[in-house]
Chain A
């Protein structure tokens, strides 16, 4: 909020807040709209329609830098034509055959384009037709926002389609935790592309990520589907390294596309070298077979993981710095699943609801076999290392004091575990011990030196090598990923971080305060991936000749006399597009911003579906498909229950956070100063609803869903109002999920709101829909 308030005060920026409750952010907004949870695509679809119908998009940008002019094959059909689904939908498998989701190609294999944007099958016109039914009246009926307010907001947002105006968009889990989570974000990405707000100073679609290093932990891919640097994890079908490289290295016929992922072979080979050192050789596919291959038809995502655990398929479990017993949708299912394990290792600063699940509410320890370990770890200021913020900025943290008691830094615990497992395999042998015995792991005997790891992540030469005319010797740090090789002469733990720790030293520890562009990029403060580039896709901020769209706030500009870019680190040193350069969206095979998202599981355009649990009996836009037909639904009995238009649960519930707490609250409920500010779980509700139920502010109430119930303190407020949806009154209530039974010790905090939420997931990511569910409320 610091910078938002500054922009408001100094530049007259307008702040628009759209949220199911009037938050503290809303209190500072120029316009606030209370939206029914889960109806964002209706709102954003209406906005896309408004922008296109009124021709308010940034035409030069859209024509040159996006796929808007590309022509789609005639076989492709919209939900408009097919009652709510795109062509290729198989109602039995609930999956799409995407063979019609493609562009018409010319004789060179490059998509056909209509720069006039008039062709009825060009992406822009299809988009316009797709959203034609999202009229302001309809949007108002669905979202509960008055039509006037909708148009007021549309007008302001669409006004940023001019070269010298820009909008930034900030979202958090309010958009992602839906069965349409990915399409919510896509809808805004499309809007920002139409308005030419990507790559610009002050533009973009910005995730306000929740954890101090969630960007870094994602980059290092503690996720089932990716290896460090967003390299796909191998599937059983990727039988060897050659096949893997073929399957995941895109090729393009567009001559002006840089197609950066063509370098994927260098990154995977360098990663395998970092994993297996001298054991990784060309003749053994660099130990590619040591990597586990996942079943290509199976998901190992979070909700699937706990479903498998509930079904008894998982025997051993590590919960490392996480509290899934409170953070997971349908938390009761997780709590019961933990009781089915043979063993569980938890690593944390404090005891928590996961570690102590066996003595939680409704549990009988005498019947629970799970062997549980709690390993106490060091806090952030008791160890040394880097973390990456939401803006991809990796910053180094130093150690201030020793950990208390016997607490150990996490890296030391990992080191100890590895050494002991390895020793056991050395001593006793065992199944396929090679990946363990051959692991390249030399981080210190007892104390771990994290700078050694940081250097491995950056990458180093494993042999003498000449690259780009420069001679490098074995053991030398790689300057950056441009120097990585696919022949085994470089090792690199994460190509994106290559450049963070070159020979010159630790770039992440830099504290330079110069700001030569005046845009607040501070290029010498810490280090930003990739290559210290502060604004991604910055080549989209200039015209075809390298002149900034907004000359007042140039991110980069082409210096014709010196034949180079000045400003931020450009997305490639190539000259501007019209001077023989490349297209701006270098990570995309076609080099342009993607409006027609054929990679998505549930359609190339965002489409409005009701949440799985909704107060309506039908989808007002596509009556045949009430909720996302591809939504992931779990059916473990008896814990997976849904309230699909169930009269027992007539109230829309949503969850959110307060700034005084963090995640499940383990790191804030144990902080007395923070607990003082927000001591107990609450449920916020309108005065009208409270009156109906005879509830007064401060009363203890019981909130119920089909999956669980909990008590909460009622906050009766003007800040949530009953909504008019399709002429009917819909009540909305909201709860935070920061609380848990285990702490405060006297139980005064309450329990997690995730006891109520459904474990239904987005078809692309399987993120659970914890932002909309149906509940009922009674006085306690």
Chain B
């Protein structure tokens, strides 16, 4: 199995959010109690029970035309996943075959090092404090099915396939920007765009703090040594996120 990817084409997205519901349906995730905050976008953020969402952007193009953009937000499945590198207990892993970044909740100690490491601010935690994020429906993919969101998408705005082929396809279709081709070791979620990524509010030059990775190494060492890493203590370390990041 070659490395897999999702190709997101916001130009094709109609913001129907079938992907959000299909994800919840397949992954049996509870609904959130939301409210209308003066926008159609909901839930307000990714969460332990929301692995993907469509971000709605109202903007105006260079010619003064109104644009309403819909951008799928979710784990990018980095080729070089900082979350996997930082996870002290190997709860987060990168599947060697497909490149999918998945996780085992039963191992997760809820230390949140991954949320700290992620340059895209993706990992969230369920009600038990365990890692929760898009895993590209690895159970389906391994069984030869496409992820629930890609399956449900009516317009092909979320396409699933071999990463190389999807990139070649996006280039063939003439898109000016292929966001994720090279970023972070090549993302597993690629965006085909005709406007610069910043228009779609995508992180430019996503960076990972070396310190965090190092901290991960330290934590992992502690675990290796048989020292029970108290999740709350680790969380305290990570609570100092701001300070650490700025060093």
Contact = CB atoms under 8 A, between A and B. Distances in A.
A660 B70 CA distance: 15
A9 B16 CA distance: 19
Given A1-B16, A719-B58, A22 B68 contact: yes
A715 interface: yes
A1 B40 contact: no
Please give me the 9 A-B residue pairs with the lowest Cβ-Cβ distance, nearest first. Answer: A697-B38, A698-B38, A672-B31, A27-B68, A676-B31, A680-B36, A2-B154, A713-B36, A5-B155
Contacts of B156: 5-6
Interface in A586-625: none
A674 B21 contact: yes
Nearest to A746: B33
A682 interface: yes
B30 A679 contact: no
Given A22-B68, A660-B17, A698 B36 contact: yes
Given A32-B66, A698-B39, A718-B66, 11 more contacts: A22-B66, A24-B15, A26-B68, A27-B14, A672-B31, A673-B24, A678-B42, A698-B38, A699-B38, A716-B38, A718-B58
Contacts of A698: 36-39
A713 B42 CA distance: 14
A714 B66 contact: no
Contact of A27 (B37, B42, B70): B70
A714 B40 contact: no
B67 interface: yes
A199 to B, nearest CB: 28
Given A1-B155, A719-B68, A25 B17 contact: no
B196 to A, nearest CB: 19
Interface string B181-210: 000000000000000000000000000000
B197 to A, nearest CB: 19
Given A22-B68, A714-B38, A675 B15 contact: no
Contacts of B95: none
Contacts of A678: 36, 40, 42
A442 interface: no
B14 A1 contact: yes
A24 B35 contact: no
Interface residues of B, number: 32
Interface in A675-729: 675-682, 696-699, 713-719
A746 to B, nearest CB: 9
Interface of B: 12, 14-17, 20-21, 24-25, 30-40, 42-43, 58, 60, 66-70, 154-156
A28 B31 contact: no
Contacts of B66: 22, 32, 718-719
Interface residues of A, number: 38
A714 B31 CA distance: 23
14 contacts: A28-B14, A660-B16, A675-B31, A676-B42, A677-B20, A679-B36, A680-B35, A698-B38, A698-B39, A713-B35, A713-B36, A715-B39, A715-B40, A716-B38
Interface in A659-681: 659-660, 672-681
B49 to A, nearest CB: 9
B36 A682 contact: yes
Contacts of A5: 12, 14, 154-156
A32 B20 CA distance: 27
A446 B82 CA distance: 63
A714 B38 CA distance: 6
A30 to B, nearest CB: 11
A723 to B, nearest CB: 15
Contact of B16 (A659, A713, A718): A659
A679 B70 CA distance: 19
A673 B31 contact: yes
Contacts of A212: none
A674 to B, nearest CB: 7
A27 B67 contact: yes
A6 B157 CA distance: 11
A658 interface: yes
A274 B148 CA distance: 46
A676 B58 contact: no
Contacts of A9: 12
A164 interface: no
A27 B15 contact: yes
A243 interface: no
A558 B17 CA distance: 46
Contacts of A672: 30-31
B14 A25 contact: yes
A679 B34 contact: yes
Contacts of A748: 35
Nearest to A22: B66
Nearest to B18: A659
Contacts of B33: 676, 679
B38 A696 contact: yes
